[in-house]
Amino acid sequence: MTLNPLFRETMRAAALGKSDEANRLYDQIPEPEISHYNMFIVAFFAVCLEVRFKDDQSFTAIKQFATEMQYDYRNAEPPVKQLVIEGIIRAMMGEEDLIQEISPADQHRTQLLAIRKIVAQSPEMQIDLAPFLADAEGLAAQWAQAE
Amino acid sequence: MAGALEGIGAEDKSRQVSEVANKLEAAEASRAGFEGTLAKAHFVMLSVMHGNMGPAVPGSGVIVPHTSVDADGAPTVGLDAIPPQLRQDAKPSGEELMGIDPKLGFLDKEHENANTDQGMSKFRRGARNVARNAQDYSDAVKELTKPATTEMTEAFQPPETYPVVGTAEPAATFTALPQTHFDGQNAVGNLVVVAVLVTEVIARRMKDWRAKT
- Minimal CA separation from B94 to chain A, in Å: 17
Judged against a pLDDT cut of 90, whether residue B90 lies above it is answered with: no
Using an 8 Å Cβ cutoff, are A99 and A91 in contact? yes
Residue B165 sits at the chain A interface (C-beta within 8 Å): yes
Residues of chain A above pLDDT 90, percent: 67
Interface list for B 20-79 with A (CB within 8 A): none
What is the value of ipTM here, to two decimals?
Answer: 0.87
Q: How many domains does chain A have?
A: 1
User: Shortest CB distance from A19 goes to which of B126, B128, B150?
Assistant: B150
Structural domain harbouring A110: 5-146
* In B41-190, beta strands by DSSP E: none
Q: Can you name the residues that pair with B69 across neighbouring β-strands?
A: B75
Handedness of CA B150, B153, B157, B158 (dihedral sign): positive
Arithmetic mean of pLDDT, B7-33: 86
Arithmetic mean of pLDDT, A90-108: 89
Q: Examine residue A78 and say whether the peptide bond preceding it is cis (omega within 30 degrees of 0).
A: yes
Residue B151 burial (10 A CB sphere; 0-12, 13-18, 19+): buried
- CB-CB under 8 Å, B168 with A127: yes
pLDDT given at position A67: 92
**Per-residue confidence band for A62, with pLDDT thresholds at 50, 70 and 90:** very high
Interface test with B, best of A11, A19, A28 (most B CBs within 10 A): A19
- CB-CB under 8 Å, B116 with A1: no
pLDDT given at position B119: 46
Q: Which of A53-57, A72-76, B113-117 has the highest mean pLDDT?
A: A72-76
Q: Can you name the residues that pair with A20 across neighbouring β-strands?
A: none
Least confident of A7-16, A83-92, B18-27, B102-111: B102-111
User: Shortest CB distance from B169 goes to which of A17, A37, A124?
Assistant: A124
Of A90, A61, A57, nearest in space to B115 by CA: A57
**Per-residue confidence band for B73, with pLDDT thresholds at 50, 70 and 90:** low
Of A136, A101, A15, A63, nearest in space to B148 by CA: A15
Q: Give the CA-trace dihedral at A130, A43, A13, B156, to 10 degrees.
A: -120
pLDDT in tens, B32-59: 999 988 988 888 887 777 766 665 565 5
Arithmetic mean of pLDDT, B72-100: 62
Judged against a pLDDT cut of 70, whether residue B31 lies above it is answered with: yes
- Minimal CA separation from B194 to chain A, in Å: 24
pTM: 0.55
pLDDT given at position B105: 52
Instruction: Name the more confident of B102 and A55.
Output: A55
pLDDT given at position B47: 76
- Minimal CA separation from B74 to chain A, in Å: 48
Least confident of A33-37, A74-78, B71-75, B148-152: B71-75
Judged against a pLDDT cut of 90, whether residue A81 lies above it is answered with: yes
Could you give the CA distance from residue B112 to residue B96 in angstroms, rounded to a whole number? 14
pLDDT in tens, B191-213: 676 777 777 788 888 888 877 76
pLDDT in tens, A114-144: 999 999 999 899 999 999 999 999 999 988 8
Could you give the CA distance from residue A45 to residue B213 in angstroms, rounded to a whole number? 65
According to DSSP, residue B60 is labeled S
